[in-house]
Amino acid sequence: MIRICCDYGHGGSDPGAIYNGRKESQDVLKIGKAVAAELRRHGVIVDETRTKDTAMSLKERSNFENKKKYDYFISFHRNASKPEKAEGVETFTYINQTEKAKSLAEKMQRALVDAGFKDRGVKAANFHVLRKTKAPAVLIEIGFIDNSKDNKLFDSSFKKIVMALSKAILDEVGIEYKEPNMSSASQTLYRVMVGSYSKKENAERQVEKLKALGFDAVIMPYKF
């Protein structure tokens, strides 16, 4: 059974990057949980460092991951620079990354580029959550929060981005992506009305006749 640890950067008193009231901590929580749901739909066990807008230190995040054995650790973030100056997606692995981490990073990077983000490449960094976690670790920056173009893409193509990231992760762990089962979608039901009566006793007599014939009949009062 595949087990993945998903980490959503910042949270609570630490909102991360902010632009025009938009918070990195909220964006990554939203998209990370959506990806986690897709992975679980495919039978992957997903643990999350946080599920609400709460603060969590870097040490708490790595300690959370260290408690269990995971196949991968994925940290979700959004980037920031000078307002409206930088754009695109970049993915990080540790400076002494494993081949598994590099492979996942490349697949997630390509998935987001194919979804419309500018390609800033896969890079190596000495980030705490990459250095102090045991599993092959990836940190992904899903566009710049201080770039209107990236924000528009993040919002307008949200489902597409979630699907792209989910497919990339599933491909890395050898699980084929399956489209959602639409058979459980809402159905249209058609009610059959026999008649309407101004007197309740007449309605009750009609219900009794229908029940005697084997029909499931009820009285539904209607005021107009």
Confidence at 184, pLDDT banded by 50, 70, 90: very low
| Residue 120 and residue 10 in one domain | yes
Supply the range of the domain harboring residue 93.
3-172
User: Is the residue at 60 inside a domain?
Assistant: yes
Percent of the chain at pLDDT > 90 equals: 79
By the 8 A CB rule, do 27 and 35 touch?
no
**Residue 66, Cβ density class (10 Å: 0-12 exposed, 13-18 middle, ≥19 buried):** middle
| Residue 141 is among the residues annotated as catalytic for this protein | yes
User: Is the residue at 220 inside a domain?
Assistant: yes
Over the stretch 77-87, which tens digit does the pLDDT of each residue have?
999 999 999 99
Q: Among residues 141, 172, 179, 201, which one is catalytic?
A: 141
| Residue 95 and residue 196 in one domain | no
| Residue 34 and residue 133 in one domain | yes
| Residue 192 and residue 168 in one domain | no
User: Is the residue at 73 inside a domain?
Assistant: yes
Over the stretch 96-149, which tens digit does the pLDDT of each residue have?
989 999 999 999 999 999 999 999 999 999 999 999 999 999 999 999 999 999
| Residue 34 and residue 130 in one domain | yes
Over the stretch 20-48, which tens digit does the pLDDT of each residue have?
999 999 999 999 999 999 999 999 999 99
Quick one: which of 10, 5, 19 has its CA closest to 57? 10
Quick one: which of 20, 17, 41, 30 has its CA closest to 166? 41
For residue 168, give the DSSP letter. H
User: Is the confidence at residue 9, as pLDDT, over 90?
Assistant: yes
| Residue 125 and residue 98 in one domain | yes
